[in-house]
Amino acid sequence: MKEKEEENVFSIYPEEEKQTDQEWQKSIPAQIFLNYFFAISYHLQHASGSHGLENVAYFREAKPEQLSEQDLETVKRLLVNSWSTEYALRSTAELGDEVFMRNALHWTFPQAYYAVFAGLQAFLHTRGVKTNNEAWVLREAGRLVVKNAYPHSMSFYAAGHYDDFNIRRLPLAHYKPGLQIAGKELEAQAQIGQFLKTTRRQKAKAVRQQVQANQATAIRSSKTGDVLQKFGPQHWQQLTWRMGYTTLFDLMARLRISSTHREIERFVQADIDFKLFHESLLQIVSYLNGIHEAYVAQAMGLQQYEAFVQELPRHLQGTFVAARLENQIRPLLQDNSYRMGAAA
């Protein structure tokens, strides 16, 4: 299949590659991973249409949950977790040393993901989704992406059955991606589209493994009754509903690479621009966290959110948190056309 061939070319994993040159083999998977995240950062900055919440109808019209004191404390704790993780990620960037950044991948990759994940949890908590279950959080985030709760530039997603995926809201995603850093929107969308496909394929395989490992849920042969070892299209279709949509949040989840996994060593040894990689991750994290903070501030009420920011731990005082409040959240929520929380 065409997608299968593309996966062999553009995979970040050794078992999915077909290279012969040893040096090229070391660096290409990491370079492609860098390309993907740079493409996301590029697209968020350059895509046509709204990049913020000012034109998002869901933000203007959907009423947040009334927060109890317990809910409010939970949301605050999640935000402090998010900001502290982003602070650590930014601290690595401030050192500005290529060698340090290379060896810091063991923690910067998961830091980028969990900084976003905690902020996402805080937002979802204000909408009545109160869970620590990662799969549930990502599934709910996917539903909100499809419902246009986010700015257009990050509202792309993949849907469909295994090896019959379709990409939505990325009109240029059908072009074949190259191996270069994106320099225009066509290249960025092509690389993001490929990333969505490989991630959805990986997700489908993980779901199959989980379902087939359980005797109660395993799909069986209609002839023998045995647990199926080989899947056809009709079998994959029985699993699609379990996958939900594949969104930017699932792409960020690809950063959950354990230091015990061999993949991280391949990244450390690769000849890529680690500073650019770190900058790309920071831009994505800052963008996503800013969106979720605006939703939380809306639910809390601007005045209460401002007071909360003033009382943050010392390491977060006068940092990017206050900057996003000043430059993004306050101007947005001071507009009377936006619904405010009860404490406003």
Higher pLDDT, 102 or 335: 102
Which helix (H) or strand (E) element contains residue 214? none
DSSP states of 137-187 as a string? HHHHHHHHHHTT-S-GGG--EEEEETTEEEEES-TTTTSPP-SSPP-SHHH
pLDDT computed for residue 280 by the predictor = 96
Alpha-carbon radius of gyration of the chain: 21
pLDDT computed for residue 6 by the predictor = 39
Can you say whether the dihedral through the CA atoms of 284, 246, 31, 100 is positive or negative? positive
pLDDT band at 343 (very low <50, low <70, confident <90, very high): very low
Say how many C-beta atoms besides its own lie within 10 A of residue 182's C-beta: 23
pTM of the model: 0.89
In the chain, alpha helices (H): 2-10, 22-46, 57-61, 69-95, 98-103, 105-126, 134-146, 185-212, 233-237, 240-243, 248-252, 262-269, 274-300, 302-310, 320-324, 330-333
Distances (CA, A) of 118 to 55, 92, 104: 25, 20, 21
**Residue labelled with tokens 């040393």:** 97
CB 10 within 8 A of CB 34: no
Percent of the chain with pLDDT over 90: 73
pLDDT computed for residue 17 by the predictor = 42
DSSP states of 85-99 as a string? HHHHHHHHHHH--HH
Question: Beta strands 157-161 and 164-168: pairing type?
Answer: antiparallel
pLDDT computed for residue 15 by the predictor = 39
For residue 165, what are the β-bridge partners? 160
CA distance 132 to 61: 27
pLDDT computed for residue 13 by the predictor = 39
3-state DSSP call for residue 318? coil
Token pair recorded at residue 42:
């590029």
pLDDT digit string, tens, across residues 169-215: 999 999 999 889 999 999 999 999 999 999 999 999 999 999 999 99
CB 90 within 8 A of CB 320: yes
Query: Span 240-253, mean pLDDT?
Result: 95
Query: Span 241-265, mean pLDDT?
Result: 84
